[in-house]
Amino acid sequence: MNFLAPAAFWFAAAIPVVILFYLLKRKRVVRLVSSTLLWQKFLAETQASAPFQKLRRNWLLVLQILLLILAILALARPYFAGKSPGGRLEVVILDASASMQSTDESPSRFEKARSEALKLVDSLHDNDHMVVLVAGANTEVKQSPTREKAALRRAIQAASVTDAPSRLQEALKLADTLIRNNPSAEIHLFSDGAVAALDEFENSGLPLVYHRVGQRANNLAITTLDVRPNPENAAQRAVFTSVVNYSTNAQQTQLEFRFGDQILEVKALTLRPKESVPQVFIANQSEDGVFSVKLTGQDDLAPDNQALIVSLLPQPVKVLLVTAGNQVLEKALRVAPNVELSVASAFANGEPKPDIVVLDGIAPAERPIGNVLAIHTANTNWFAGWSKLEAPPIVALKSSHAVLRFVSFDNVFIAESMAVNTPSWAVSLVEAPQNPLILAGELGRQRIVWVGFDILQSSWPLRISFPIFVANAIEWLNPAAANASQLLVQAGSPFRIGVTESVTAAEVRMPDGTVKPWPVNAAKGELVFGDTMKQGTYHLKAGTNEVAFCVNLLDAAESNTNPKTELQLGKYAKVEETTLRRANLEIWRWIAAAGLAVLMFEWWYYHKRTA
């Protein structure tokens, strides 16, 4: 038994005072009466010379002392605490993703999760061990298994929240390896549940305890951002974005559109609950710079209220078409935006080097160095082997890929195609029942779009989707466009850029203005910068080159701040949030009730004797 207010036992000093009152003789007051026959016994007592009398058995004294003891016990608030077995291993996972910055908890969800994790540390037995993991863009082991509570507290207090989306899968995989073959171990996850599907843990029997953090969903978010040439005027830039209201109420806000520090346009928006509103801004651009969109309304989560993107002025694309005379393909290439086309019947690497090489049914003696659009040709570096496929039907499209944007294959007949297996470096964009018909991917640093059939042996050139496909492929293969896409990074993902061997060191100016030196591995010819945990614009200086790149959240699952009451592990398994239960049973109410019963008994006994 323990006591929540042990200081109440100081009231026990009143018990001797009660006994003292019973030892003291009562002082009599003289009164004139007609007869003293019935008062002889009291007269004998008043004539005693001693101030104290002998303590005799008195039920009233016993009841009063018992009542006082019960009142003291009730004030001390005794309770019985349940005890869990010691010697266990507990793995704490702190969700440090962007949604944990929501301010519906005071001061934030992350701070609430941290305080709850510290309470768990305080409850450890002396022989328990604990591991502390922080799950942000990557899983970080803040503290290896230990039973030192001071070290665990330092590890939890040193954790910090990021602007990156949640990757709890990695943290749960690591935790699973730590507790394997330990049946008494537990994983304690402190999170709001803003996580993608955890299907891989459906049959793992993970001993997961989910501590939900968060009270409500009150958030407006920018979830997409892209910049392209204006389809109606190639000299202008079109910026596409989407705003989503994840709140349960309608929201009003303003969306600011900027180029650098200059406000170009402001739009007033009214969004219904769960509504997504696409927006398009058109702007003139005379130099490379950064476009940004920003929500001015107040909500619980700040990192998704702004998004930035680097916009580079379009440059001519040098395209070399190697063909035996395909006029249809040549015409489609000439109408593609910003294309400077040259045509040849054979290929050899040389100067000037083209940005893109288009191979039309020709296998060159040497492999092109730049990006390639290969039509009805193959390379042993791309595929282990190939065969012939007669009249393949089209059964699937990956329309989400940039190469197939606005491309349809309805009523397209193909007489013959090369049959290959999808290699590891590519994804299948158009599929026949057994083999891919169009592939796209990156092999080393070379982007490749492969079309397995001769377009002249198909009805595709007669469809409007063919020139659209060619324009999409040129844009995706354009090295300048590829470099521009690298300048938009999701928070927590590394930024990569090629460097020459002469570059040995670099420095990055962070969004907060601090400058961080960064090592360069010149042998690999690439700089990888991984400290992208905060949203904003970063400036990289490597040798004489200076590059700006933008880091954004842009994650719909992370911006949906509605805290989940359960985590779905596959189709059937799930983990529900922990609920508060009375672990410590206080018994002061029962003691107070017993004291009241004694008081009522005293009252009944007194009136019975005096009746």
CATH (domain of 456) = 3.40.50.880
Residue whose C-alpha is closest to residue 149's, from 105, 180, 184, 118: 118
Last residue of a domain, one of 452, 483, 514: 483
Q: Looking at residue 219, what DSSP letter applies?
A: -
Q: What is the pLDDT, as a whole number, of residue 29?
A: 64
Based on the domain organization, do 143 and 244 belong to the same domain? no
> 267 by DSSP, 3-state: which?
strand
Q: Looking at residue 493, what DSSP letter applies?
A: S
Give the relative orientation of helices 109-122 and 149-158 as an angle to the nearest 10 degrees.
180
Based on the domain organization, do 334 and 365 belong to the same domain? yes
422 domain residue, yes or no: yes
Based on the domain organization, do 446 and 364 belong to the same domain? yes
What residues are paired with 188 via a beta bridge? 92, 209
Based on the domain organization, do 306 and 326 belong to the same domain? no
Based on the domain organization, do 107 and 206 belong to the same domain? yes
Answer with the residue of higher pLDDT: 17 or 91: 91
Residue 438 has pLDDT above 90, yes or no: yes
293 domain residue, yes or no: yes
CA atoms within 13 A on the CB side of 226: 9
Based on the domain organization, do 156 and 190 belong to the same domain? yes
pLDDT band, very low/low/confident/very high, at 223 (cuts 50, 70, 90): very high
CATH number at residue 304: 2.60.40.10
141 domain residue, yes or no: yes
Cα dihedral sign for 373, 375, 377, 383?
Answer: positive
CA angle at 246 for the pair 245 and 249, rounded to the nearest 5°? 75
Residue 203 has pLDDT above 80, yes or no: no
Last residue of a domain, one of 312, 334, 350: 312
Residue 21 has pLDDT above 80, yes or no: no
Residue 500 has pLDDT above 90, yes or no: no
Q: Is the distance from CB of 538 to CB of 508 less than 8 angstroms?
A: yes
Based on the domain organization, do 93 and 207 belong to the same domain? yes
pLDDT band, very low/low/confident/very high, at 30 (cuts 50, 70, 90): low
Tell me the pLDDT of the chain averaged across its residues: 86
Based on the domain organization, do 384 and 445 belong to the same domain? yes
- The token pair at 148 is 């030192």
pLDDT band, very low/low/confident/very high, at 14 (cuts 50, 70, 90): confident
557 domain residue, yes or no: no
Comparing 194-208, 353-367, 397-411, 498-512, the range with the smallest average pLDDT is 194-208
Residue whose C-alpha is closest to residue 128's, from 92, 86, 84, 179: 86
Dump pLDDT digits (tens) for 296-314.
988 999 999 999 999 988 8
Residue 84 has pLDDT above 60, yes or no: no
558 domain residue, yes or no: no
What residues are paired with 109 via a beta bridge? none
Q: What is the pLDDT, as a whole number, of residue 51?
A: 57
CATH number at residue 162: 3.40.50.410
pLDDT band, very low/low/confident/very high, at 573 (cuts 50, 70, 90): confident
434 domain residue, yes or no: yes
240 domain residue, yes or no: yes
Last residue of a domain, one of 502, 531, 552: 552
Dump pLDDT digits (tens) for 175-195.
999 998 888 899 999 999 888
SS (H, E, C) 26-42: CCCCCCCCCCCHHHHHH
In the numeric block, the tokens 């490597």 are attached to 542
Comparing 59-63, 369-373, 461-465, the range with the smallest average pLDDT is 59-63
Q: Is the peptide bond before 352 cis (omega within 30 degrees of 0)?
A: yes
Q: Is the distance from CB of 156 to CB of 117 less than 8 angstroms?
A: yes
Number of domains, the chain: 5
Based on the domain organization, do 321 and 401 belong to the same domain? yes
Based on the domain organization, do 245 and 342 belong to the same domain? no
Find the helix or strand (DSSP H, E) in which 373 lies: strand 371-375
525 domain residue, yes or no: yes
Residue whose C-alpha is closest to residue 140's, from 160, 110, 121: 160
Comparing 238-242, 259-263, 286-290, 596-600, the range with the smallest average pLDDT is 596-600
Domain hosting residue 47, numbered range = 2-80+587-610
In the numeric block, the tokens 């397209």 are attached to 412
> 144 by DSSP, 3-state: which?
strand
Based on the domain organization, do 132 and 198 belong to the same domain? yes
* Alpha-carbon dihedral 342, 345, 350, 354, rounded to 10 degrees: 30
Output the DSSP codes for 130-168.
EEEEEESSSEEEEEEEE--HHHHHHHHHH----SSPP-H
- Percent of the chain whose pLDDT exceeds 90: 55
Based on the domain organization, do 193 and 325 belong to the same domain? no
pLDDT band, very low/low/confident/very high, at 103 (cuts 50, 70, 90): very high
